[in-house]
Chain A
Amino acid sequence: MSESDMAIIKPEMMKSYIWLETSDGSIQQVEQEVAMFCPFICHQVLQKGAGSSKNNAISLPQKVNPAMLSLIFDYCRFHQLPGRSNKERKVYDEKFMRMDTKRLCELTSAADSLQLKPLVDLTSRALARIIEGKTPEEIREIFHLPDDLTEEEKLEPLKNTMDDPRIRLLNRLYAKKRKELKERAKLKSIEVEERVDERVDERSVDDLLSFINGRDHKVVNTSKSKKKNKKRKEHKNGTCKVSNKDSHNLHSKQRSVDETSSSLGGVSNLHNIEDDIFSRKAEFEDGFIDDEIDPALKEMLDREVEDFARRLNSSWVLSVGQERQPVHFSINGNGDTRRLTGTHS
């Protein structure tokens, strides 16, 4: 109805215009076909008959400022023409998206309030590409976001998925371990010496487990899990000395320990065994918030750690003189026990 009104009022004009008012109070008119490309405006015009004159201008949502509006209308003006090819549209979109992050956000906001879905999709994808692969600090910087989570809260995401507060500590250890893993892998010969010097545990598997569960002193650090980690280390060394028959049992116990610590459900005493072989100190800085909150990364570290522990195991066995061959190492034609190189995929 307003369309026909406009036609009567301005018959000499080829185009009809729609009147819009932005949040700052300024009023402008835009070609009808361009403006109607936005569902919000379309709705206002058709349902409420607004936009036909200066007095009756459609007031746009607050997030739409004049700069964004003109950008949006550039977009609409291009795309509302049916004659454009898909390739042309793609090329235009690529160029259109080249703007700084701040404007991208404003544009997303404005396009969203005007319900212009194709543009929202476009800007969202561009913003997603910016976010990908960045650490939380970087994201905060780029988008000027407040650092308004407490330390507790930053660790919480992991708590939600893992349900065990000690996993947090583990993740910190993992980060340290990772560093040490790499160092130690290079200094392999020195490792062997170190291990020979360390205490060799002759106790049976069950003794070790009860020892681990029972003891809670001998602190190197403040954290409880560190103490338990220390015991784990001894436990691990003990593994090598246990007989073949036992090694399978131990292996399966180890397995269940590993699994329980990395799956949902808190288990009071059991942590990832390999953990503590490396970590000695608790230095909780270094910004590995990444590892703390990321269960996926944690699992990857789990594997690296286990892998390395196995490597430790095997070279320890070799150094002690091949008195036994653990069940799970492969034997090639020469009869040597061999470790597989590289990790699984």
Chain B
Amino acid sequence: MNNLPEDCIAKILSLTSPRDVCRSSAVSRCFRSAADSDHVWNHFLPSEFPEDFRAPEGLPTKKHLFFSLVHNPLLLHGSQLSFSLERSTGNKCYMMAARALNITWGHDQRYWQWISLPDARFKEVAALKMVWWLDITGKINISLLSDNTLYAAYLVFRWNLDPYGFRQPVEASLVLAGTEHDDVQPSMVSLMQNPGSEQGQRAELRSDDWYEVQLGHFFKRRGDMGEIEMSLKETKRPFEKKGLIVHGIEIRPVLP
């Protein structure tokens, strides 16, 4: 292996994963120089970036750019969409701000308020005062995502001091906009931790101290077009819901 030229080693490393390449940089001098080369990290960076993407300045190498995008999501689309990379594959991840979602009655101060929280990624989050018709929908263009990847969408939220009306599971759905919606059954997800009801997805606590619940998943193939529509609804039960704080909807690859 000593005799292999550096660009051969770089080529071999680009066929592994970001983690393996990081490990390789501690093997030996020649490995390190290959492992840190732009050629390898270019391979892990997406081949296509969203339209208004601007690489952060002051990053000397592609490796720096890669890890910058992994750890520091960039705000795009008027600061309503965050863009980052999934660290083990370099696949693209997004989070849509609550303002970018369609929240029924969201414009009405009696029902929803828009507040700023210090630990939110976006300027505003939606705080539910009280509503009967809960309907939160988001749409994202599927071409923004990485090819040949299984993605899942999550509603990111938390509770205020006294939530009410969320003990029962609510409806979540994820469809490709334009397809037949009638035969797609929404799944029931539980926003709370009800030990009794095992059915469907449950909310999980994230590392950033928000909760998330999976709305659905889909596989993005090369050349797929259209929009993915994700929604969370509770419109059937005749009692009010209170106390939900919506951060946004996150779309990220499903890890094996």
Contact = CB atoms under 8 A, between A and B. Distances in A.
Interface of A: 63, 105-106, 108-109, 112, 120, 124-125, 127-128, 131-136, 139-140, 143-149, 153-154, 157, 160-161, 251-252, 255, 262-264, 289-290, 293-297, 299, 302-303, 306-307, 310, 327-328, 330-333, 338-340, 342-345
A144 B63 CA distance: 27
Interface string B145-187: 0000000100000111101000100000000000000000000
Contacts of A333: 167, 192, 194
The 6 closest A-B pairs by CB, nearest first: A128-B15, A143-B1, A252-B118, A136-B26, A303-B207, A344-B206
A344 B64 contact: no
Interface stretch (B28-36, B74-82, B107-115, B225-233): B28-36
Contact of B12 (A128, A134, A340, A342): A128
A310 to B, nearest CB: 8
A19 to B, nearest CB: 26
Contacts of A135: 23
Contacts of A161: 63-64, 67
A52 B151 CA distance: 58
A296 B19 contact: yes
A154 B2 CA distance: 19
A342 B23 contact: no
Contacts of B141: none
B194 A332 contact: yes
Contacts of A153: 32
Contact of A160 (B63, B88, B194): B63
Contacts of B102: none
A74 to B, nearest CB: 21
A327 B207 contact: no
A147 B4 CA distance: 17
A328 B5 CA distance: 54
B59 to A, nearest CB: 9
A340 B31 contact: no
Contacts of A147: 28
Q: Which of A135, A262, A345 has the most CB of B within 10 A?
A: A345
Interface string B30-53: 111001100000000000000000
